[in-house]
């Protein structure tokens, strides 16, 4: 098939407005380029900074943000007034740091690593376990 020659400015403008067909022909190798859109989302969350601990799975019910080490969750309350002791069920690490949470106070017991920019909808799937966390360590 032969590509028709476009001869007038008006016809070129019309073709550009119609859009997508022209660049698709030009960039035959574009499909090999990996997308990086996920990393910009993580960067934006990292600037907010901190680790969110949630009372229920899937980031539900009470929530509490930590920005530094805490040795004893029983001294902390969620925004709804409930105590954090042995109650955490999900978490998000929106900080730039790796963080460990522990099943016991003073960074002892079972521990799990929360990576920067990662979300954990079910702490029951991690080593620390559900309704167990009692301290947090920013690494």
Write out the binding residues for Ca ion, residues 13-72 only, by CB under 5 A.
none
Q: Which stretch binds Ca ion (CB under 5 A): 43-51, 64-72, 75-83, 100-108?
A: 100-108
Q: Three-class SS of residue 23?
A: helix
Binding mask 62-91 for Ca ion (x = CB under 5 A): ------------------------xx-x--
Compute how many other C-beta atoms are within 10 angstroms of the C-beta atom of residue 84. Answer: 22
* Cα separation, 74 vs 133, whole angstroms: 10
Tell which one of 90, 132, 136, 138 touches Ca ion (CB under 5 A). 132
**89 vs 130: CA distance, rounded Å:** 5
Measured from the Cβ of residue 135, the count of other Cβ atoms closer than 10 Å reads 21
User: Residues binding Ca ion: what is the number (CB under 5 A)?
Assistant: 7
Q: Does 134 bind Ca ion (CB under 5 A)?
A: yes
Binding site for Ca ion (CB under 5 A): 86-87, 89, 103, 131-132, 134
């Amino acid at each position: 098939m032969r590509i028709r020659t476009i001869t007038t400015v008006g016809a070129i403008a019309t073709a550009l407005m119609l859009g997508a067909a022209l660049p698709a022909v030009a960039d035959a190798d574009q499909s090999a380029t990996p997308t990086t859109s996920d990393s910009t989302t993580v960067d934006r969350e990292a600037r907010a900074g901190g680790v969110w601990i949630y009372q229920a799975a899937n980031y539900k019910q009470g929530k509490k943000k930590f920005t530094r080490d805490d040795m004893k969750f029983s001294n902390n309350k969620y925004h709804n007034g409930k105590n954090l002791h042995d109650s955490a069920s999900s978490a998000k690490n929106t900080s730039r740091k790796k963080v460990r949470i522990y099943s016991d106070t003073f960074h002892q017991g079972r521990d799990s690593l929360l990576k920067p920019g990662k979300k954990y909808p079910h702490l029951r799937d991690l080593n620390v376990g559900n309704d167990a966390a009692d301290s947090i360590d920013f690494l």
